[in-house]
Amino acid sequence: MSEEAKPEGQSNGVTQQTILAEQPVPHFRLTEERNKRERLTQQNGELAQQFEKLKSQYDAQQKELNGMRSQHQQEMYLVEQGFKAPSVRRFFRREYADSVSELPADNRPTFEAWLSANQDDPLYSVHFNRLTQSTEPVMEEPQEAAPTGNEQLIDALRAALVGNPDAGASQPRDHKNKEWTADEIRKLRAKNKPQGSSRGKLPNGELEQILSDWRSKGIIK
């Protein structure tokens, strides 16, 4: 036997496994893998765009929320300070925003500190001055002194002549007593007016007669 029998599965020293490994991958499999990779890349890109869009919306909403919170805090502080007019509060908030916009973000004063530091500024002091004037105590007007007995007598006479001219007309008159009219009372007061006084007084005797006459007529009780 000139040639030795070769083991099964072996040809010229190369195993069958080696031959199978060297066989090319089918074209359709390469196409499938390439398409799959392209779809994943496209999906990743779309997801990244959606994420950036959502992140932008979130940042915008956070900025708006922070602005609303800051505006509310400024409004409450101004109201506590006594600024009731919405136009004045809006003026201070706009001035603060314009002022701090020129400063670095990490070096901007708070609204309270900025407002306190600018109280004497000519542009803002007018509002603080009005606030001070509105909080000043109101002086009470002096009350008039209670009317004296003579003044009550004159008031009663006026009420009798104006409000009820017929009071006591049905009662019989006492002809023994003098008939006291407004002119007679006025003349008697002028006759007994002290020096330096603007109003005279009725003598006690005449005052008792007048009161007695009026009681009999029902003018006073």
* pTM attached to this predicted model: 0.41
pLDDT for 190: 74
Q: Assess whether 32 and 100 both reside in one domain.
A: yes
The winner for highest mean pLDDT among 27-31, 119-123, 189-193 is: 119-123
> Region 45-50: what's the mean pLDDT?
90
Number of domain units in the chain = 2
Q: Are residues 123 and 206 in the same domain?
A: no
Q: What percent of the chain has a predicted confidence (pLDDT) above 70?
A: 61
Question: Where is the domain boundary, 133, 167, 198?
Answer: 133
Axis-axis angle for helices 27-81, 86-100 (nearest 10): 130
Are 155 and 207 within one domain?
yes
Pick the last residue of a domain from 133, 157, 178. Answer: 133
Per-residue confidence band for 94, with pLDDT thresholds at 50, 70 and 90: very high
Q: Of 90, 105, 133, at which residue does a domain stop? A: 133
The answer as to whether 159 is a domain residue is: yes
DSSP assignment letter at 3: S
The answer to whether residues 60 and 126 belong to one domain is yes
201 vs 22: CA distance, rounded Å: 143
55 shares its domain with 128? yes
Average pLDDT (51-76) is: 88
Note whether residue 77 is domain-resident. Answer: yes
Band (pLDDT 50/70/90 cuts) for residue 177 is low
User: For residue 11, is it within any domain?
Assistant: no
For residue 31, pLDDT over 70 is answered with: yes
CB burial class (10 A; 0-12, 13-18, 19+) of residue 114?
Answer: middle
d(CA 26, CA 21): 13
pLDDT, mean of residues 45-74 = 88
Within-domain flag for 198: yes
Q: Is 101 part of any domain?
A: yes
Let me know whether 94 and 162 are in one domain: no
Q: Are residues 162 and 119 in the same domain?
A: no
Domain contains 19:
no
Query: Is there a domain that residue 4 lies in?
Result: no
Instruction: Check residue 112 and give its pLDDT.
Output: 92
23 lies in some domain: no
pLDDT at 91 over 80: yes
For the chain, the average pLDDT equals: 74
173: confidence class by pLDDT, cuts 50, 70, 90: very low
Q: 104 and 156 share a domain?
A: no
- 62 pLDDT above the threshold of 70: yes
Please write the tens of the pLDDT for every residue from 110-163: 999 999 999 888 888 888 888 877 655 555 555 555 555 556 666 666 655 554
Q: How far is CA 14 from CA 4, 6, 18, 170, in A?
A: 16, 11, 7, 158
| Whether residue 51 is found in the same domain as residue 123 | yes
Tell whether 61 and 156 lie within a shared domain.
no
Query: In the prediction, which pLDDT does 209 show?
Result: 79
pLDDT surpasses 60 at 42: yes
Asked if 180 and 213 touch (Cβ cutoff 8 Å), the reply is: yes
**pLDDT (average), residues 49-58:** 89
Is 202 exposed, middle or buried (CB count within 10 Å of its CB: 0-12, 13-18, 19+)? buried
Which domain range does residue 124 map to? 28-133
Nearest Cα to 220, choosing from 127, 153, 132? 153
